[in-house]
Amino acid sequence: MAKALPEKQLLKRTSDVMGDELASGPPPTYRTHVLALTASEGYVLDPLLETLGSDERPLFTIVDVDALAPGGDPTAKATALAEKLAADKAAGIEAKIAAAEAAAAAAAEAKEKAEARAAAIAAGEEVEPEPEPEPEPPAEEAEGEEGVEVFKDTPPAPERSADAYMILKNFPLTAEDSAAMGAAGVTLDTVLNLEMDSFGLGYSQGTPPAEPAEGEEPPVPEPLPPSALIEAIGGCVGAEGEGLEECVVLTVGAGLSAERWANLPAIVQAVADTA
């Protein structure tokens, strides 16, 4: 498992790459925004999580905490999650330093070439014209249902910017789980609560409401009870020592029509816009 570099070593590497002035502050940081997805009983989250966690969506990482620490011990799961976050942070900082090294090397090479070119021109030497920048390739059209914009990752707004977005699977499920997270130093930043009525749930399951017979009143959608996770941790959000001190619960899909819950790309887009 990757280990974080000592702060002095990070400062030295940053100084080597960026210069003493820029490296006089703290070393590069890496922040992971930790989320959980929840929905009313009957809604299957797996297709949504699989889509969000695909290689085409690099902003999101799906972490099955059961796979990190099999078994039912919340403390073991929270500890394994804390270790993964620490390892991801170490790797992320290393990647930032490596990117800075590559940028510094490229800038030095470009400066050297420019100085050599200027010297040649000053000496009256014939130099080749600088090559034209290559045109950007045309954007590929996203495939998807007609009239539906297929989700593509874009950088989030600065006020909610993070280096990575980790969506937890199978954890936390109970207040005991969230307390174990707090004890391990892991904070759940956001709970995304998929909110739908009985019609939306039916469409998501491939069973839209039946058409009323002639002369009958059309069926009326019914509200659904809160998800098991919201029931379990709702009273702990904002409480010290529960791993939920800074957690916010955000509603996803409240404005979607019932039919849209059958459209996975639309749900993916709604989750990405809210996260």
Q: How confident is the model at residue 225 (pLDDT cuts 50, 70, 90)?
A: very high
Number of domains in the chain: 1
Is there a domain that residue 105 lies in? yes
Q: What is the pLDDT of residues 200-211, one digit of tens each?
A: 999 999 999 988
Is there a domain that residue 5 lies in? no
pLDDT for 22: 44
Is there a domain that residue 130 lies in? no
Q: What is the pLDDT of residues 57-68, one digit of tens each?
A: 888 999 999 999
Averaged pLDDT for residues 43-49: 95
How far, in Å, CA of 36 to CA of 50, rounded? 14
Is there a domain that residue 89 lies in? yes
Is there a domain that residue 16 lies in? no
Q: Which two tokens stand for residue 179?
A: 């307390």
Q: Which two tokens stand for residue 270?
A: 């709604």
Is there a domain that residue 173 lies in? yes
Is there a domain that residue 137 lies in? no
pLDDT over 90 percentage in the chain? 53
Q: What is the pLDDT of residues 75-119, one digit of tens each?
A: 999 999 999 999 999 999 999 999 989 999 999 999 999 999 899
Q: How confident is the model at residue 21 (pLDDT cuts 50, 70, 90)?
A: very low
Q: What mean pLDDT, rounded, does the chain reach? A: 84
How far, in Å, CA of 255 to CA of 117, rounded? 59
Q: Three-state SS string across 130-155, please?
A: CCCCCCCCCCCCCCCCCCCCCCCCCC
Is there a domain that residue 138 lies in? no
Kindly provide the residue ranges of all beta strands, DSSP E only, lying in the chain, ordered along the sequence. 32-39, 60-64, 164-169, 190-194, 248-252
Domain limits at 162?
Answer: 32-125+149-209+220-274
User: Measuring CA to CA, which residue among 31, 42, 30, 38 is closest to residue 271?
Assistant: 38
Query: Cα 70 to the chain's mean position, in Å?
Result: 24
pLDDT over 70 percentage in the chain? 81
Q: What is the pLDDT of residues 122-158, one digit of tens each?
A: 988 888 887 777 777 765 554 545 555 555 666 555 5
Q: Which carries the bigger pLDDT value, residue 4 or residue 232?
A: 232
Contact 99, 17 (CB under 8 A): no
